[in-house]
Structure 1
Amino acid sequence: MRVRRSGMHHDLMMTPPTSGRSLEGGVPNCPIIHAGVESIGNTVQAPNLLTLNVLLGAISTVVQCLADVEPVYGGRIPTSMYICTKGESGLRKSAVAARVNKPIYNFEKEQRREYEKNREIYEVKLEVFKEQQEAKRNKLKAALVSGNAQRIETAQDELNKFIAEKPQPPAKETMLVEDSTGEAIQEEMYAGYGCIAVLSSEGGIALNGHTLRHLPFFNAQWSGESLLKHRKTSGNQSIEDTRLTLSLLVQDAAIKKFNDKHGDEAAGIGFWARFLFSCPLNNQGSRFIESNNLITQDKEGERNFTARLEELLDELKQVRQNYDSGSRKLIKFSDEARKYAIDLYNEIENSQNPGGRLEYATDHGSKLFENITRLAALLTYFELGSEALISVGILQDAERIVFHCSDDFLQYFQQYPDYIKNTLSVLSYFQQVRDNGERYYRAADLRRSRLAILRDIDVRDQVLDLLINWGEITVFTFKNTGLVVIDLKPKLVYDPYMWSDFCNKEKLSQFYLMNPPLSQTPLQAQTFSRWR
């Protein structure tokens, strides 16, 4: 499985990717998943990372109902995953999702038909019950009129015993939702088996529609927390031990729209920090078809993945017949894997210290190890069954997946310190000036720009110093006059025409035309004390 990573324009503008945890070789310790990714990815000609994420969403949808995992520090946590895969139109998100999730959609249809049949039977039983209940209520009324204590006690006991045998509605079979409100998802959890998945190949519907309006609920569900609802019409409802999977394939514009509206809240409560977030490389332009490939396409990997997913769905069907959330299996680490996991936990914790990889993304860092733990349990259950322990190999596969997504998360959401964010803002402003055809810029004009951060001398000097170090600008001073000029294209040779245009625009004297920046000494930003 080959997973390529897209680059950025400037290496110093990004958090360095995690070394030694490449997904280049796929997930070798998970042969069913590995072969499934290769098979489906090659058939559909979609990026392998996209295919892998869709497979993981499908696995989480089913296994969250069947198993929890024991962390290294003890206890019990869900195996549910929140997964978001960014991909533009044409990446074949829908094609991959349709193939991978087909067994789940078929299972949902079958369960819905079963529910409708059971619902009809229930309604008939309820109608008979109400008729018999009315007869017993009339018997109690007659006893009360007679005033005979024995008759009253007997009639009351019969009615109470009869009410205790009232037919119960069948549990709702809903497992998949897409464009539902959080309130509707809660109702489905309460009326059904408590396991819901939002699987969407058009994730913008979930992000910017009705589904994700109440973010704290989804944060709580990630942890499997209980919810006690108080409603005037429906009374109290206790939603306990529920599980929720989110698997969203979404375009960049939809994420930006969501963040424009909910970004502050999402960042404040660590909503995105709970996700496996990834940006697969767009492979459009390289998806060529050869006749030999069409003939020799290997479908075995897809068939084996689908067969295993169907096995788990059959297992889920059996569990649902005698449903009890306490019946979930508990996936544990092997002794060797536990030692490895403790070292990994400590490494992640240490990386949140000053100077560490996650220094400025501690919300994300605090969820990283738990996501690795959950994913290792999912991979173990899917590949080896309910009685298997998490091995070091499968744990390392989970580690590689999660750290790859972590790199994408840090890059996309720009988890940088303020001085880096300030520098990127100024660089964006300078790029607009470049796009207007200008090369030289008077430093004093920065104070009059629309960027308020540049009114602070310390911030301004720090930003320009970093841009100099990045090679984005060079700054020159004219010692005799104190004029400071910024060259926005320092890698290009001196351009006398652009310098002349700059001098004319700024109404500079002939002295400057005769002494261009080429003859001046570049400055480091720390020496900018008195700009003209």
Structure 2
Amino acid sequence: MNHFPLNAFPSKLREVILDVEELTQAPIPLIASSVISAISLASQRLVNVKVNPFFESPVSLFLFVIANSGERKTTVDRMVMRPFYQHDESLLRKFDESNKNYSIELKVWEVKEKAILGLIKKKTAEGQSTEVESKRLKELQAEKPMRPKSQRYIYSNVTPEALQSAMSQHSSNIGLIADEGANILDRQVMKDLSFINSMWDGVDFHVERKTTQSFTIEDGRITLSMMVQKKPFDLYLKRQGEKARGSGFFARCLSVFIDENLSTQGERFIRPHSNEQAHLSYFYQKTTELLMAGSQNIKNSYRECLLLDIEAQYEWEKIYNKIEYQIHPDRKYANMNDFASKLSNNVARLSALLSYFTEGSCAIKKEYIQSAWLLCEWYMEQAINLFSYEDGYYEALLLSWLNREYFRRNSDYIKFNDIRRNGPNSLRKGKLLEKVIFNLEKAKAIDIEYSRKGARLVCEGAQFRYNDFTNNPIFSFY
């Protein structure tokens, strides 16, 4: 399922993606992931989504793009995220000026406080009343200068302590954005996955400090957009992969690997293009409007709750049940139940984002649920290719099926095409079966031979019953 469902996007957003593609010639899935991240970051301060009376969720999304050097990750990130970078750059200048004024005002205030405390100390020593000074001290506390807040959106090269402090003191709605994600993967922030996961869930997060004051991040939101090369990603998997998978971090992500099938390298020839990217200009304008609305919404922290209309509700429930059905050990999402458990939530979030960005405040229509499902289903296929292959699950499943079929047919071989037609459902489509066959042959669990007519035969190998895969509980499935 390498063909990216670009047509699932509403027409205006689809044209935005095509504008960026025309300018950068980067892979469409990479651009689309960046656009989704931008919409998530612009909207997470303003809306939640509610699919039924019992389930209200943030709309923040985690996007994880694995792409090697030359795929134009930085170019796409800077182009799509331009309104956020411009906002932060302008804000930083204003914040620096405000911080200078704050420092001066605080010093003046501290001098006044010191003077009053000095009088109180002196009068106390002399046995005189300090009522006037105490009253003045209380009044002075109300005049203490307030530290300016920076409503910065984008963070990248940051420690978890610094990020948590910023979300507590400044803005609890931020984007963890990195076009070279190795910077984040190498940082402690990706080791504190309970914090990252809590922000996706939309729950409060308490930070206990030994040397400084403890605090709680309330109603925090993080949009994660990480683009990383394959080698740093593989190294991270070796170091932290089991923890990241076990904590549910990867399951929360919409992931894609820009492999040779998705890459545009070798096809990016110089070609004439329009100088008027009207759709990209629309995207910048709309994003800026949401940023301004978010800035006005800081003080009351109110979020509008987007509901599904009746048809959309029914469609979401159908998708939920479809996902649940596919978790069966012999079906599409076998060994991916952690990802599947978050998939319907991501469908709801993405449908809300597409609807809100396109139509504003209104009930989410069925078409947006369907669009979100097409996109999330594609990302799920990518996740299967990236993550479902960790523990030999599919090898054990095929061995279980072969063991039954050898006995049932009273034979020690089965045609490869019979496996493709009648074998485990989860192995019938795509390239997964070839990978499984390769691994089983390498482990000497099976041998590959050919009939006189050239048919590929899967035969019982010397280690068929005694190998690493037969220790997997799924070996007893059939």
- What is the TM-score with the length of structure 1 in the denominator? 0.74
In the TM superposition, what is the alpha-carbon distance from 1:256 to its structure 2 partner?
0.8
Aligned with 1:342 (options 283, 297, 317): 317
The aligned amino acid for 1:77 is S
Farther-moved stretch of structure 1 (257-266 vs 356-365): 356-365
Matched, 1:25 2:3: no
In the TM superposition, what is the alpha-carbon distance from 1:416 to its structure 2 partner?
7.8
2:293 alignment counterpart: 315
Equivalence map 1:145-224=2 (5 Å)? 145-148=125-128, 151-224=129-202
**Cα distance in 2, alignment partners of residues 523 and 110 from structure 1:** 65
Matched, 1:227 2:205: yes
Matched, 1:324 2:300: yes
The aligned amino acid for 2:101 is I
Aligned with 2:326 (options 351, 358, 368): 351
1:382 alignment counterpart: 357
Taking a change above 3 Å as real, the CA distance of residues 343 and 163 of structure 1, as seen in their structure-2 partners, is same
1:5 alignment counterpart: 2
In the TM superposition, what is the alpha-carbon distance from 1:298 to its structure 2 partner?
5.5
CA contact (8 A) 2:414 2:459 kept: no
CA contact (8 A) 2:39 2:287 kept: yes
CA contact (8 A) 2:445 2:465 kept: no
- SS of 1:287's equivalent in the other structure is coil
Aligned with 1:139 (options 98, 101, 119): 119
In the TM superposition, what is the alpha-carbon distance from 1:524 to its structure 2 partner?
5.2
In the TM superposition, what is the alpha-carbon distance from 1:73 to its structure 2 partner?
4.2
Matched, 1:42 2:22: yes
Matched, 1:122 2:102: yes
**Cα distance in 2, alignment partners of residues 399 and 528 from structure 1:** 42
The aligned amino acid for 2:348 is T
**Cα distance in 2, alignment partners of residues 348 and 423 from structure 1:** 20
The aligned amino acid for 2:300 is D
Taking a change above 3 Å as real, the CA distance of residues 119 and 47 of structure 1, as seen in their structure-2 partners, is same
Taking a change above 3 Å as real, the CA distance of residues 300 and 168 of structure 1, as seen in their structure-2 partners, is same
Taking a change above 3 Å as real, the CA distance of residues 364 and 134 of structure 1, as seen in their structure-2 partners, is same
2:243 alignment counterpart: 265
Aligned with 1:53 (options 1, 20, 33): 33
The aligned amino acid for 2:336 is A
In the TM superposition, what is the alpha-carbon distance from 1:172 to its structure 2 partner?
2.6
Equivalence map 1:87-106=2 (5 Å)? 87-106=67-86
The aligned amino acid for 1:59 is I
Measured against aligned partners, the alpha-carbon deviations of 1:348-375 in whole angstroms (never above 9, x if no partner) come to 2232234332232111011001111111
In the TM superposition, what is the alpha-carbon distance from 1:100 to its structure 2 partner?
0.7
CA contact (8 A) 1:178 1:211 kept: no
**Cα distance in 1, alignment partners of residues 27 and 351 from structure 2:** 22
1:77 alignment counterpart: 57
Aligned with 2:395 (options 421, 424, 430): 421
Matched, 1:62 2:42: yes
**Aligned-pair identity (%):** 26
In the TM superposition, what is the alpha-carbon distance from 1:106 to its structure 2 partner?
0.6
Taking a change above 3 Å as real, the CA distance of residues 486 and 351 of structure 1, as seen in their structure-2 partners, is closer
**Cα distance in 2, alignment partners of residues 232 and 5 from structure 1:** 50
In the TM superposition, what is the alpha-carbon distance from 1:77 to its structure 2 partner?
2.1
The aligned amino acid for 2:311 is E
In the TM superposition, what is the alpha-carbon distance from 1:314 to its structure 2 partner?
2.1
2:336 alignment counterpart: 361
CA contact (8 A) 2:449 2:458 kept: no
Taking a change above 3 Å as real, the CA distance of residues 24 and 36 of structure 1, as seen in their structure-2 partners, is closer
- What is the TM-score with the length of structure 2 in the denominator? 0.81
Taking a change above 3 Å as real, the CA distance of residues 343 and 129 of structure 1, as seen in their structure-2 partners, is same
Measured against aligned partners, the alpha-carbon deviations of 1:453-487 in whole angstroms (never above 9, x if no partner) come to xxxx979x89x9678555989xxxxxxxxxx9986
Matched, 1:409 2:383: yes
Measured against aligned partners, the alpha-carbon deviations of 1:287-311 in whole angstroms (never above 9, x if no partner) come to 3334xx33x4661121111111122
- SS of 1:86's equivalent in the other structure is strand
In terms of Rg, which structure is larger? Answer: 1
Farther-moved stretch of structure 1 (226-235 vs 410-419): 410-419
**Cα distance in 2, alignment partners of residues 485 and 418 from structure 1:** 13
- SS of 2:146's equivalent in the other structure is coil
**Cα distance in 1, alignment partners of residues 11 and 348 from structure 2:** 19
- SS of 1:235's equivalent in the other structure is coil
2:232 alignment counterpart: 254
Taking a change above 3 Å as real, the CA distance of residues 107 and 277 of structure 1, as seen in their structure-2 partners, is same
Aligned with 1:285 (options 249, 266, 281): 266
Taking a change above 3 Å as real, the CA distance of residues 209 and 358 of structure 1, as seen in their structure-2 partners, is same
Name stretches of at least 5 consecutive residues in structure 1 with no aligned partner: 7-21, 427-456, 474-483, 495-517
Name stretches of at least 5 consecutive residues in structure 2 with no aligned partner: 421-433, 438-443, 467-478
In the TM superposition, what is the alpha-carbon distance from 1:422 to its structure 2 partner?
5.1
Taking a change above 3 Å as real, the CA distance of residues 183 and 492 of structure 1, as seen in their structure-2 partners, is farther
Measured against aligned partners, the alpha-carbon deviations of 1:356-403 in whole angstroms (never above 9, x if no partner) come to 322321110110011111111222222122x22211112211111111
The aligned amino acid for 2:104 is V
Measured against aligned partners, the alpha-carbon deviations of 1:161-187 in whole angstroms (never above 9, x if no partner) come to 321332110113332111211122111
Taking a change above 3 Å as real, the CA distance of residues 261 and 153 of structure 1, as seen in their structure-2 partners, is same
